[in-house]
Structure 1
Amino acid sequence: MNLTNYKIQTVTLNTTDLTKMTDFYETIMGLSVLEATDSTVALGIKQTGEILLKLTQTSRPQSQTSGLYHIAYLLPNRAALGNFLRHLAITQYPIQGASDHGYSEAVYLADPEGNGIEVYADKPESQWDIKDNGIIVGVTEAMDVEGVLAAATQEFDYLAEGTFIGHVHLAVSSVPETSQFFHDILAFTITTEFGSQAAFYGKDGYHHQFAGNIWTTRNFPKNQDEAPGMNEILVRVSKEVMTETKAKMDLQHYPYHQDHQDLIFHDPNGIKFRYIVPIK
């Protein structure tokens, strides 16, 4: 994946039980606590100190809104996926699925508060089914579980160095409205569509950094920043992407505000994004 222009850096989730959630992300997911206060815990990759997930305590009640479908953690290779899958088998943590998508192999589970998780490894791009118009054809078939387990090389302690958030799949109220936003405002290619049920959005030739579906949230109210679940998606972008995004928002009168150099906005489902340009 080309990360020069666009990289999902950190997702922040609101939680009603900070201790329980932290324990899950350490012991089951293999993330390390990198920063902690009484109300917030930042977790990430131990070797590099890169924060992938923040958990923030909230007292707000759960509500039925748009929000998160799953956060997808991209492992560096199939061996790392095998290590993780074997770890799930040893701990007997329940999985919700194990799929071959043509361009990737993925395992699905959920954290103790129901936030969806995907852990996956991409196949070589030479194996992707890429059409001339940029559409990247995905499938959902049963994973070769035996093959993935056979690729394992070591006992699992932590998510492998080089792991990052490959994509975030959103539970949206309307796919056409979401697609228009990602295509017209954020300049993503709509790489796959399933009618008005789901769509996948890719940038710089990737199969998708974001996706949206209405399978559980059709016509639901907008996500609330302080309610349990999705709080914020922090994305590291190039200066060019930052400039182009602001220009498109200005042209189409799309609301945003700036916090110092950060660009903060909400998508049509009320999901908050924060774009930053890293200091080199």
Structure 2
Amino acid sequence: MTATLLPYSSLPAERIGVHAPASLPAAIRLGTVHLTVARLDRSLAFYEQVLGFRLLSRTPATGGQLATAALGVAGSDDVLVLLHEQPGARPVPPRGRLGLYHLAVLLPTRADLGRFMRHVRGLGLHIGSSDHNYSEASYITDPDGFTIEVYRDRPRTEWQVSEQGEIQPALEPLDLPGVLAAAGDTPWQGLPVGTIMGHLHFYTGDLRLALAFYHQALGFDIETWSLQGALFVGAGGYHHHLGLNVWAAGSPVATTVDARLLRWELWLPTAAERDAALTRLQAAGYPVEQTPDGPLVTDPWGIRVLLRTEAQPAA
């Protein structure tokens, strides 16, 4: 029996998804994603020349600190990705390790996605693609084995939900001719103004434990729950800010000798909202480290999130 699908806009906000006991505000955003890589120069060549990031700053290895490179996009000083060089770091295996599955860069328009895909195809590189119903996406693997999704969202007026309020995903072939045609004659000039970190997707060991951390304590709403071995959670009715799956359950957790996610940042609109999220996480017993940039909280698989607030300046 096929489920009845409704336009997203036909349901009130309170009926979209399964709301957390204390939901995060709609105005959250994802901040810097910190990755360790084996060779910084190799990674920079890929992130700049292939993905189209702009190098914002670079620091050498000194005093026991790893060499780093901060990457952003045109028109902004926000750091989307911070690469930390760890010579000899083992690449991500095909099945993955518990930790990061992929990071996802959100482009402003379909034309931007078309220009990006035309650019990558012109380099002779393999790029995967899919239509997810609410978005059109491309996928590419970096030199350390990290998967990077580059995608564009359809307007929410085109999204679909079930009668129960579940945002409906899809895994259909991308309309590649249509996406490429949308690019027009404008050349690719790197990630455009308005590009942001759209979502992250994690390999976890147990969806029940993942929900306890990300939904019940941190406060993300469950937006999609009918996928095999995966849940999508978000804030403000977004299809997902985080994907959580058990597709690599039984694999080891990424360690200090691996190319891995060091931490990710979650920005909340106010200090009060940040402190409320922290209080919930502490009450649930999750490890918290106080840093100059804010509290750093660790999930059951060593994935660390830095809680930041727009009320404080970025470091």
TM-score range, shorter chain: over 0.9
The structural deviation recorded for 1:249 is: 1.9
Q: 2:47 aligns with which of 7, 25, 39?
A: 25
The structural deviation recorded for 1:255 is: 2.0
| CA–CA separation in structure 2 for the residues paired with 1:164 and 1:242 | 21
User: Aligned to 1:219, what secondary structure does the other structure show?
Assistant: coil
The structural deviation recorded for 1:132 is: 5.2
Task: Please give the residue correspondences for 1:39-58 in structure 2 after superposition, counting only pairs within 5 Å.
Answer: 39-58=67-86
CA contact (8 A) 1:73 1:165 kept: yes
| CA–CA separation in structure 2 for the residues paired with 1:228 and 1:261 | 24
> Could you say which residue in structure 2 is the equivalent of 1:130?
161
CA contact (8 A) 2:37 2:89 kept: no
- Cα-to-partner distance string for 1:158-198 (whole Å, 9 max, x where unaligned): 10110011000112222221122111111111111246611
| CA–CA separation in structure 1 for the residues paired with 2:207 and 2:265 | 22
User: Aligned to 1:165, what secondary structure does the other structure show?
Assistant: strand
CA contact (8 A) 1:66 1:220 kept: yes
Q: 1:188 aligns with which of 209, 217, 220?
A: 220
Aligned partner of 1:53: which letter? V
- Cα-to-partner distance string for 1:181-233 (whole Å, 9 max, x where unaligned): 11111111111124661111111110000002222x21333333663121110
| CA–CA separation in structure 2 for the residues paired with 1:87 and 1:100 | 19
Q: 2:291 aligns with which of 259, 272, 278?
A: 259
CA distance 1:143–1:196, shift in 2 (3 Å): closer
| CA–CA separation in structure 2 for the residues paired with 1:200 and 1:249 | 20
The structural deviation recorded for 1:18 is: 0.7
Aligned residues: 277
CA contact (8 A) 1:178 1:269 kept: no
User: Aligned to 1:141, what secondary structure does the other structure show?
Assistant: coil
Structure 1 residue 34 and structure 2 residue 56: aligned? yes
| CA–CA separation in structure 2 for the residues paired with 1:238 and 1:146 | 40
| CA–CA separation in structure 1 for the residues paired with 2:46 and 2:89 | 21
Pick the structure with greater CA Rg.
2
User: Aligned to 2:80, what secondary structure does the other structure show?
Assistant: strand
The structural deviation recorded for 1:111 is: 0.4
| CA–CA separation in structure 2 for the residues paired with 1:155 and 1:70 | 27
> Could you say which residue in structure 1 is the equivalent of 2:108?
76
Structure 1 residue 117 and structure 2 residue 139: aligned? no
Structure 1 residue 177 and structure 2 residue 209: aligned? yes
> Could you say which residue in structure 1 is the equivalent of 2:306?
274
| CA–CA separation in structure 2 for the residues paired with 1:181 and 1:257 | 16
Alignment gaps of 5+ in structure 2: 1-23, 61-66
CA contact (8 A) 1:223 1:271 kept: no
Aligned partner of 1:163: which letter? T
| CA–CA separation in structure 2 for the residues paired with 1:71 and 1:195 | 19
| CA–CA separation in structure 1 for the residues paired with 2:54 and 2:187 | 17
Alignment gaps of 5+ in structure 1: none
CA distance 1:43–1:266, shift in 2 (3 Å): same
CA contact (8 A) 1:94 1:109 kept: yes
The structural deviation recorded for 1:262 is: 0.3
The structural deviation recorded for 1:5 is: 3.0
Q: 2:133 aligns with which of 86, 102, 106?
A: 102
TM-score, structure 2 normalization: 0.82
Over the residues paired in the alignment, what is the CA RMSD in angstroms? 2.0
Among all aligned residue pairs of Structure 1 and Structure 2, give the percentage whose two residues are the same amino acid: 32
CA distance 1:225–1:76, shift in 2 (3 Å): farther
| CA–CA separation in structure 1 for the residues paired with 2:142 and 2:293 | 33
Structure 1 residue 12 and structure 2 residue 34: aligned? yes
CA contact (8 A) 2:89 2:257 kept: no
- Cα-to-partner distance string for 1:132-164 (whole Å, 9 max, x where unaligned): 544211011001000000100311121011001
